[in-house]
Amino acid sequence: MSKEEELTDQESSEETASSEDDIGVESESVNEIDLLKEKVSEWQDKYMRAYADFDNTKKRLEREKHNAIAYSNENFAKDMISVMDSFDGAIASIDSMDKEEASSALSLMEEGIRKTHEQLKKMLEKNGIKEIDCSGGFDPNLHQAIMQVDSDALQSGAIAQILQKGYTIKDQVLRPAMVSTVK
């Protein structure tokens, strides 16, 4: 073989080796791309599941919050029902009376109304609702002055008369007591 033929053979074998290397590198790149595509798909699936789980939790919490608000007064309402029953009984007994029985029944009605009032007061206290004490001086945080009166017996600024009771729930004023104060 001549030197030229040898060089040609050597060049062709180098080209063959080079093209085989290119095919090997290309094959590795394709495998790496496939692996990366699988990882991306796996992460997308995990993301979608986490997002769906988050969305479901958010909806469940919103539903629970709505139910808590809607039914927060359930115990209070149950307590009020017994007071309503007492008033219904009093009204039914009044309706069934003759005019002649009315005078003797009046004292029984007064007793029934007082018992119902006490029952309502206890139920309110049980639920954290209390009357505002008006025995001390005027407090603008608890009392609403409707009018001022003259009085020699009381000092200026003192509460002269309670026109409507006020109530608090825990530490918050539900309704201020409406009072008249001394000038």
- Model confidence over 23-70: pLDDT tens digits? 556 677 888 999 999 999 999 999 999 999 999 999 999 999 988 877
pLDDT recorded at residue 53 = 95
Which residue in 87, 137, 147, 91 sits closest to 116, CA to CA? 87
Interatomic CA distance for residues 161 and 151, integer angstroms? 11
* CATH H superfamily, domain 129-183: Head domain of nucleotide exchange factor GrpE (2.30.22.10)
* Mean pLDDT over the full length of the chain: 81
Interatomic CA distance for residues 101 and 22, integer angstroms? 116
Q: What 8-state DSSP symbol labels residue 143? A: E
pLDDT recorded at residue 68 = 82
Q: Position of tokens 């001549």?
A: 2
Interatomic CA distance for residues 121 and 123, integer angstroms? 5
Interatomic CA distance for residues 40 and 143, integer angstroms? 68
Longest dimension (CA), the chain: 149
What confidence tens digit (pLDDT) does each residue in 98-151 have? 766 677 777 777 788 888 888 888 888 888 888 898 887 889 999 999 999 988
User: What are the residue ranges spanned by the domains of the chain?
Assistant: 129-183
Q: Is 145 helix (H, G, I), strand (E, B) or coil?
A: strand
